[in-house]
Amino acid sequence: MDGSRTPQTPPVLILLGPPGAGKGTQARMLEDRFGLVQLSTGDLLRAAVASGSKAGKAAKAVMEAGDLVSDDIVIAILRDRLAQPDCANGVILDGFPRTTAQAEALDHMLADSGQQIDAAVLLEVDDVKMVVRIAGRFTCGDCGEGYHDTFKTPKVADTCDNCGARNMTRRADDNASTVMARLDAYHEQTAPLIAYYDGKGVLRRVDAMGEIGGIQSAIATLTESVMR
C-alpha cells in the first residue's frame, strides 16, 4: 500500500482484534476526531435484540453463548446501515467483518459504490489479559462512554464523567465463560482476516496493550496518513 487513496470517496476503516481489544473505544475516538461514523455490528445487533425484531430474536441466544451470528443476518444489517446518509462522510467498522464471507460481502458492497478499504487496523493484544479487561468493563447507558473497574473508574461512583448520567450498564455477554467462547470464535473465524487484509496491502498493526491515550494517538496518526 502506498498510503494514497482514491480522491473523493469516503474513507473506510476497519478495526480488527479480539473482544476487549478496545475497538469500540477507539472507534468512538475516530468518530469524534475525524467525523467518521462508527458502525458496530455488535451495537446494531443489541439494538435488534432490544427491539424484538425477527433478526434480533434469531441473534439473541447466539450472542449470549458468545458465538457468531449468521453471516446473512449480519451482512443484511450492515448493508442497511451503510446505505444511510450519515455514512457518506466515511465509516469506521467496529466488529465487522468477522468471517471471510463477511469480508467478501463487504468488498462487493464497497465496489458497488466505488469505494475501497483504506486500512484494516489490527489491535494486537494478549488474550489472557483480555479476559480480565472484558470482565471489568461497563458503559454509560446514555452516552456510551466506556469504563472499567480497574483501569478507568468514573470520577464520581456510578456517574458518567462525560454526560453526568447515572445509568451504567454491563453487557450480558461480558462474563468469563462467554468471553472464552468469544475468543475461540475470534481465533477460528476472524483471525484469518489478518492474512486476508495483509494480502490486499491494507493491514496496519497497532500494539493495543498499553494506555488508551497512547493507543489513540497511534491510531489517529495512522488514520491521518491513510485519509490524506
Any contact of residue 68 with ligand AMP (CB under 6 A)? yes
Return d(Cα 22, Cα 32) in angstroms, integer. 16
90 binds ligand AMP (CB under 6 A): no
Q: What 3 state SS string does 9-47 have?
A: CCCEEEEECCCCCCHHHHHHHHHHHHCCEEEEHHHHHHH
Residue given cell 450472542 in the structure block:
63
Q: Does 63 bind ligand AMP (CB under 6 A)?
A: yes
Among 12, 27, 36, 74, contact with ligand AMP (rule: CB under 6 A): 74
Least Å distance between CB 157 and ligand AMP? 25
Catalytic residue among 23, 33, 155, 204: 23
Gap between the Cα atoms of 30 and 20, Å rounded: 17
**Of residues 96, 95, 100, the one with CA closest to residue 19:** 95
**Which string of x and - marks every residue 24-53 that binds ligand AMP (by CB under 6 A)?**
-----------------xx--x--------
Q: Which residues of this chain interact with ligand AMP, rule CB under 6 A?
A: 19, 41-42, 45, 62-63, 66-69, 74, 95-98, 102, 173, 182
Q: Which residues are catalytic?
A: 23, 98, 137, 171, 182
